[in-house]
Amino acid sequence: MMTVAALLAALAPVPAAAHAEPGGWSAAWATAVQQPSPDVWYPTWAEHGFADQSVRQVVRVTAGGPQLRIRLSNAYGSGPLRLTGATVAKAGTGAGVQAHTVRPLTFALATTASISAGGHTASDPVPLPVEAGERLTVTLYFHDVTGPATYHNLAQATAYRATGDHTRDTDASAYTETNSSWFYLSGVDVRGGGAAVAAFGDSITDGYAATLDADDRYPDALARHLGGRRAVLNLGIAGNRLLNDSACLGERGVTRIRWDVLDQSHVKTVIVLEGINDILLGMQDPTPCTTPAVKVSAADLIAGYRQLIRAAHDRHVRVVGGTLLPANLSGEAEQTRDEVNAWIRTGCDFDAVVDFERAVADPADPDRFRPAYDSGDHLHPNPAGYRAMADAVDPRSL
């Protein structure tokens, strides 16, 4: 078994990402893409991919601008991805879109695109003005067999699938299949959207126990809390760990922060909430998704946070540390969580701190959730708890 020190020293291969660039583009929505796997916890279309199918996906942007572009990722593809056609529109109800808002997507002025294995692409600018908080629908058509699809598992949003090319349909009738992941879609940028805040972490950031299609995860609540003044990007992956890779739950946080956060367009601040899975999974028998199961100490996690902070500071990105939420722990595991939280609050390594633990903890029992904020599993907040987390973020810290 590798030691934590060895794991930190070994750098995973870096999937290609959308690099920040001059020219006025700012990230308005983004997600962290994952390796498709049959062992992941949630049912998905990713393992088999698509053939002669249209995939319609709905996202809510957190910044506005007069133009937009769509970013796609084939980071985990085994071969080139052939995109036969694509559109963007303002979302309607379900798989429907608003009439007269459908715009074709082009790539280097072509209506088709080929994305190399491990690669990514961005569409040409689209003249479709959007405002912060608007919902967009992106429809991708794949005529050829794609193979397993680069995706994000826990979208907490409904994706729709139809047989054939239905990229320009405004009604929902052809879209008879649904799923709750995002496929190939990795980002939406807007022209002139300003600086963005990245929320980085695991399932609590990703939004486990949030409401399907309601956009009530903590980063969603934070975007509303900020009133559109800053874009907020959700770059959580359910099950992700700070110090250890997973075959299906993402590379470890200390390495994936480079492509998932620091390569996003115009990200200036990142809020880090990660480490509870390192504690939990290190004390359990491994599964295909949680191998290696490495026991970690508070010192190990602190070393990981410092590595992450250095990477962000090297790119002039401000880092806000979030305390670890109650997790129904006991004994050594609870002691590790307490030591980590004490360091986050007093260690002065982060540029600022948001005390998520105190925002959701029961005042009568600080190691447990306040009942009104508990999703029921004593590990994840419910939507009210996610709102409390967002309210705990001082906008001045960003």
Q: Does residue 22 fall inside a structural domain?
A: no
Cα–Cα distance for residue pair 225/237, rounded to 1 Å: 22
The pLDDT of residue 129 is above 70: yes
Same-domain status, 173 and 216? no
- What residues make up the domain containing 221? 4-15+193-397
Same-domain status, 47 and 153? yes
Model confidence pLDDT, tens digit, residues 259-300? 999 999 999 999 999 999 999 999 899 999 999 999 999 999
Question: Residue 19's pLDDT is what?
Answer: 42
Cα–Cα distance for residue pair 129/66, rounded to 1 Å: 4
The answer for 335, left when phi > 0, alpha when psi is -120 to 50, beta otherwise, is alpha
Q: What are phi and psi of 223, to 5 degrees?
A: -60, -40
The pLDDT of residue 17 is above 80: no
154 vs 65, 125, 134, 182, CA distance in Å?
A: 27, 28, 21, 8
Contact of 266 with 195, CB cutoff 8 Å: yes
Choose among 209, 195, 157, 250: nearest CA to 360: 209
The pLDDT of residue 9 is above 50: no
Choice among 16-25, 33-42, 110-119 with the minimum mean pLDDT: 16-25
Question: Residue 23's pLDDT is what?
Answer: 52
Q: Does residue 27 fall inside a structural domain?
A: no
Same-domain status, 53 and 160? yes
Same-domain status, 386 and 282? yes
Question: Residue 39's pLDDT is what?
Answer: 84
With a pLDDT cut of 70, the percent of the chain lying above it is 94
Q: Does residue 23 fall inside a structural domain?
A: no
The pLDDT of residue 11 is above 60: no
Mean pLDDT of 17-46: 81
Same-domain status, 347 and 380? yes
Model confidence pLDDT, tens digit, residues 307-338? 999 999 999 999 999 999 999 899 999 999 99
Model confidence pLDDT, tens digit, residues 354-368? 999 999 999 999 999
Query: Which among 141, 170, 188 is the end of a domain?
Result: 188
Choose among 114, 112, 184, 142: nearest CA to 52: 142
Query: Which among 140, 172, 188 is the end of a domain?
Result: 188
Segment (H or E) for 92? none
